[in-house]
Structures are given as structure tokens and as C-alpha cells.
Structure 1
Amino acid sequence: MKILAFGTSNSKHSINKKLAFYAAQQINNADVSLIDINDFEMPIYSEDKEKESGIPQLAHDFYNAIGEANTIIISFAEYNGSYTSAYKNLFDWTSRIDMKVFQNKAVIMLSTSPGPGGAQSVLATAQASAPYFAANLVGALSLPSFFDNFDSKQGVVTHNTFKQDLLSIISKLS
């Protein structure tokens, strides 16, 4: 099984990227590709830029990476209750290739934040919009208070309920 995992923050120390990678590692016999959305930085989307220059190659590359995977694991960072601008821009450009960005792939949506909210607002938004973008949503889960529930040195979740809930979602993939 080919897994594409990423966090939606462009921080070099993204806790959401760490969480997405952890989740992907819980899938037995998986070929995991962990991407960094910094590698897909493009001009801010506008109709004018699209008409002038077309859709950037990086948007095509991101779309193709999704297409090559069996399962997508996304961990959403939350900026002011919504998507990060880096992810939203990447998503907007990619949706111009095909509104079915997720190409009917199995998708696990996660979120985390340093605080007790665990980025639940953006996760709820992503879940609600998933069907419009051809995401076969397998499950969604928020990890609150990242630094209290994740051991960064070992790269593992220490929150037992979250671990069990994540494994339950993963079991739906087979």
C-alpha cells in the first residue's frame, strides 16, 4: 500500500507533519512518502495569474503524488480557526487541475495543535468539504495539546485513547 502523508503547515518543525508521519508508520507493510508542502510553494492563486501563466508545474506534481498513492494522510494545522495559507494556496491551484483533488482515494484526516482544541475547527471544515473534492474519508481524529501527548524524541504518540482510535481508523483500510 502506498501512503502519501503530509502536514498542512509550512513550518520546518511542523507538529502536524510529525503526526501525519507517525500515523502512516502505524500501517503495516506500507510504502510511505512523507512530503513537505514547502516543496510546492507557488504564487498566490488568482484567475489572472492562471490566465497569464497557466497552472504551475508544482500543482501538477502535487496532484500526481496524490494519484500515485492508495491512501492519503493529512494532518491539518489551524491558523486563526482555518486552513494555513500555504495549504490553501496549494489546494486552490491543484483544484484548478481537477476539482476531484483527492481522486477518490482513501483519506485519513488528522489535526493537532499545542493547545487543548487540537485544531478541531479546521478539521471539521476539511471533513465537511471532503466529498466535494472526491476524498473517500476513512476517518478523522484530533490530538489536543501536542506537546503533552507526543514524544518528539521518539516520534510517538503517548495519548493511549488517541492511539487506539487511530488504529481503529487504520483497520478500516484493509
Structure 2
Amino acid sequence: MKITAFAGSNSKASINKRLVTYVASLFKQPDTTILDLNDYQIPFYGTDLELEKGVPQEVLEFSDLIKESDFLIISLAEHNGAYAAVFKNLFDWLSRVDGTKGFHNKPIFLMAASPGGRGGASVLEIAQARLPFNDGEVIETFSLPNFTSNFNDVEGITDSELKTTLFNKIEDIKTQLKF
């Protein structure tokens, strides 16, 4: 099973990248790739730019990585109640790649983490509603609130109830996808 995971953030200290890296490791699949959106210097989407230059090569490469995957794990940063600009820009470009509306009909474990008590609930709600229109099959979601209190890099999730919830969701996903 080929897993591709990334955070919808360009912060070098992204809590969502820390979460997505941790969760990807729990699937124990040797063919797992963690992508960093900072490695993809993509211009801001605009129809004029697309007409003039086409879809950027880096977007095509990112799209190919998604296409070649069996399963995606995405953890979204929430900025002002919605996607971080870096993810929205990537999303807009991915929707312009021929042969897909964005996510190549891949199953997605959609997550969000935040320093606050809502755990990125707004961005999760937006993405869970939107991604199916863009060839993304959200099969499960997970929210991690109060990140600094509930996560560390040694233990992962430290809150026992949240950890149990996450582990149960992972087991459900493994059953659904026949890991």
C-alpha cells in the first residue's frame, strides 16, 4: 500500500506536519512518502497565468505523486477558519490538471490540528464537504485540539481519549482499505 502524506501548511514548525508524520508512521507501511509543501514553489493560481503558461511542472509532479498513491493522509492548517493559502493554491492548481479534478479518486484520511480547543473543526468541515467534488474520497477525519497540551514528538498524542479515538480510526481505515 503506497501512502502519501502531507500537511496543508508551509510553516517550518507546522504542527500539522508533525501530526501527519506521526500518523503516517502508525500505518507501518514501508512505501510511505511525507511531502513538504515548502518543496513546491508554485505561483499563485490565476486564469490569466494558466492561459499564458499552463499548469506548472511542480503541480504536475505533485499530481502524479497523488495519482501513484493508494491512500492519502492530509492534515490541514486552519487560517481564519479556512484553508491555509498554500494549500488552497495547490488545491486550485491540482483542479486544473487534465484527467482529474484534483485528488484522483484516492481515499483520504483528513485531519487538522490547532493550538486551540476546536482543533481545526472549521477547515475540516469545509474540506470534508469540498474534496469529494474534486475526486477526493474522505473516508475518515480526525481533529487534534490544544496541540501543545495533547502532543509531543516522543509519545505522539498524549491524551488517552484522543489517542484511543485515533487508533480506532486507523484500525477502521486498515479494515476498509485491506491493509
For the aligned pair, the TM-score class normalised by the smaller chain equals over 0.9
Structure 1 residue runs without a partner (length 5+): none
Q: How many residues align?
A: 173
Moved >3 Å (runs of 4+):
none
SS at match of 2:167: helix
Q: Offset at 1:156?
A: 1.0
Q: Offset at 1:71?
A: 0.8
1:81 corresponds to: 81
Letter in 1 for 2:132: P
SS at match of 1:107: strand
Deviations 1:115-147 (A, max 9, x none): 111111001100011211122222001000000
Q: Offset at 1:166?
A: 1.8
Letter in 2 for 1:62: F
Identical aligned residues as a percent: 42
Normalised by the length of structure 1, the TM-score is: 0.94
Structure-1 separation of matches of 2:50 and 2:29: 40
Q: Offset at 1:168?
A: 2.0
SS at match of 2:4: strand
Alpha carbons 1:15, 1:146 under 8 Å: kept: yes
Aligned alpha-carbon RMSD (Å): 1.3
2:104 corresponds to: 103
Deviations 1:48-85 (A, max 9, x none): 00011111001101101111111100001000001011
Q: Offset at 1:11?
A: 0.4
Normalised by the length of structure 2, the TM-score is: 0.91
1:147 corresponds to: 148
Q: Offset at 1:29?
A: 3.2
Alpha carbons 2:94, 2:103 under 8 Å: kept: no
Letter in 2 for 1:79: H
Q: Offset at 1:105?
A: 1.2
Q: Offset at 1:162?
A: 2.0
SS at match of 1:87: helix
2:27 corresponds to: 27
Structure 2 residue runs without a partner (length 5+): none
Deviations 1:66-115 (A, max 9, x none): 11111100001000001011111111111100443211111000001111
